[in-house]
Structure 1
Amino acid sequence: MSEEQAIRSVVHLYVDGMAFANEGALRKAFHPSASIVGNSEGAVEWLTRDAFIAAVVAEGPAPPGTQPLMEVEMIHVTDDTASVKVVDEFAGARYSDYLSLLKIDGRWLIINKVWHRHG
């Protein structure tokens, strides 16, 4: 598997984890110290991985048969670091997510997510 394929696999885990409120998938995709940051209703929302996962689980899964939107617009890899831009949907809204990944012990993990909610 190429580095890009391995990164896409983590992004897929993340998008599916969010769409289907799959706590295990999200824990596998994100580093325990990851930050999830974006502007929400005029204020900066800065979440830990666990707070983010709790919010996703509280929202609940998408309806059965849903095909999650996952448009990977950019992947840039430099050795053991990567940046990904992915467009996805969560709770009926469309987002652009900018993910920073780091390869740790041979495994890619999301260490930071900065998001933008489209109007």
Structure 2
Amino acid sequence: MSKTIIKDHDQIIEAINKYVEGVTTGKSDVMKAAFHKDAIMYGFEVDGLVEGSIQNLYDFVDQAGPAKNLQARIDVLDIDGTVASARIALENAHDAEYTDFHQLLKIDGEWKIISKLFHRHS
């Protein structure tokens, strides 16, 4: 593994940690820096399919408030040049458990989450 790969890995973890911190604090402003401005999100919630703009996530986080007992595990699944994929397991996220898959793109030297695909466990 080269130093570039280790640096990229650390930067990806840092970006995803901004997302986790935003959920923990209940403040979407904390996580916005991790996402591309045109990021998308898809997955199923209790009341059905959530699809479209990442603004859906921001609205949910701001309305739900802090998830103070949130626990997260981040696994960087692959990094290949300017693209990466990560899996995030979330427990105690407002009394729910989730598995997220984030696709990231390195733009101008910075890793940004381009898409969030999630599953809410019942």
Q: Give TM-score, length-normalised by structure 2.
A: 0.86
Q: Which residue does 1:9 correspond to in 2?
A: 14
CA RMSD of aligned residues (A): 1.6
Q: 2:36 aligns with which of 31, 35, 38?
A: 31
CA distance in structure 1 between the aligned counterparts of 2:73 and 2:56, rounded to whole angstroms = 25
CA distance in structure 1 between the aligned counterparts of 2:34 and 2:83, rounded to whole angstroms = 15
Paired residues for 1:37-52 under 5 Å: 37-41=42-46, 43-52=48-57
Contact 2:105/2:112 (CA < 8 Å) preserved in 1? yes
**Match for 1:102: what amino acid?**
L
CA distance in structure 2 between the aligned counterparts of 1:51 and 1:45, rounded to whole angstroms = 8
Instruction: Report the more deviating stretch, 73-82 or 36-45.
Output: 36-45
**Match for 2:94: what amino acid?**
A
Contact 2:24/2:66 (CA < 8 Å) preserved in 1? yes
Q: 1:91 offset after TM fit, Å? A: 1.2
Identical residues among aligned pairs (%)? 28
Q: Which residue does 2:23 correspond to in 1?
A: 18
Asked if 1:55 is matched to 2:60, the reply is: yes
**Match for 1:49: what amino acid?**
I
Contact 1:99/1:114 (CA < 8 Å) preserved in 2? yes
**Match for 1:39: what amino acid?**
F
CA distance in structure 1 between the aligned counterparts of 2:35 and 2:10, rounded to whole angstroms = 17
Q: Which residue does 2:3 correspond to in 1?
A: none
Q: 2:118 aligns with which of 92, 115, 119?
A: 115
Q: 1:36 offset after TM fit, Å? A: 0.9
CA distance in structure 1 between the aligned counterparts of 2:77 and 2:7, rounded to whole angstroms = 13
SS in 2 for 1:2: helix
CA distance in structure 1 between the aligned counterparts of 2:54 and 2:47, rounded to whole angstroms = 22
Contact 1:4/1:75 (CA < 8 Å) preserved in 2? no
CA distance in structure 2 between the aligned counterparts of 1:14 and 1:57, rounded to whole angstroms = 13
Unaligned residue ranges in structure 1 (runs of 5+): none
